[in-house]
A = this chain, B = another copy of it.
């Protein structure tokens, strides 16, 4: 990976997240990155190839996050870490994950990288087990609920990313998943 290739990748990511894939011309990416437009096509073949490279990065980063959750010992810690995941994601690389989430609604990319991939299935499995260990009656459904909650939380974070709001919401959510709550 040469310096300029990486620069193109980062610039494209930033611009795609800010303005969307279709509304960001390759000429703009080149200009912003300070390289010739042709270089984009030398390295990534297509505009779509550029996006695919970004998506591959996403896959890797997410896999790392999931790995760290799976490594936790306590089932409750795993669940809490999962709740915290979107906050962590956005605080670290906001634009990057924003792009990921917006892609869910684009037909073009829903078939490829967003289809439940390895790390997602692993996380679901691990969290199901965590619920089971905690004595929940319907662990599979609880996972689904948690997934929905996290999706919704991500949406909220995009629209209201204030520190205070995040803190409040997180602690409220965690209080819903505590040892002394009923498990029906």
Which of B20, B149, B159, B175 contacts A106, CB < 8 Å?
Answer: B20
Contact B141 A148 (CB under 8 A): no
Contact A105 B105 (CB under 8 A): yes
Given contacts A149-B148, A152-B148, A173-B145, contact A18 B107 (CB under 8 A): yes
Stretch from A32-40, A68-76, A96-104 that touches the partner: A96-104
Which of B105, B138, B156 contacts A148, CB < 8 Å?
Answer: B156
Query: CA of A158 to CA of B173 in the docked complex: distance in angstroms?
Result: 24
Does A150 belong to the interface (CB within 8 Å)?
Answer: yes
Closest chain B CB from A88 CB (angstroms): 17
User: What 1/0 flags go to A109-125 for Cβ under 8 Å of B?
Assistant: 01000000000000000
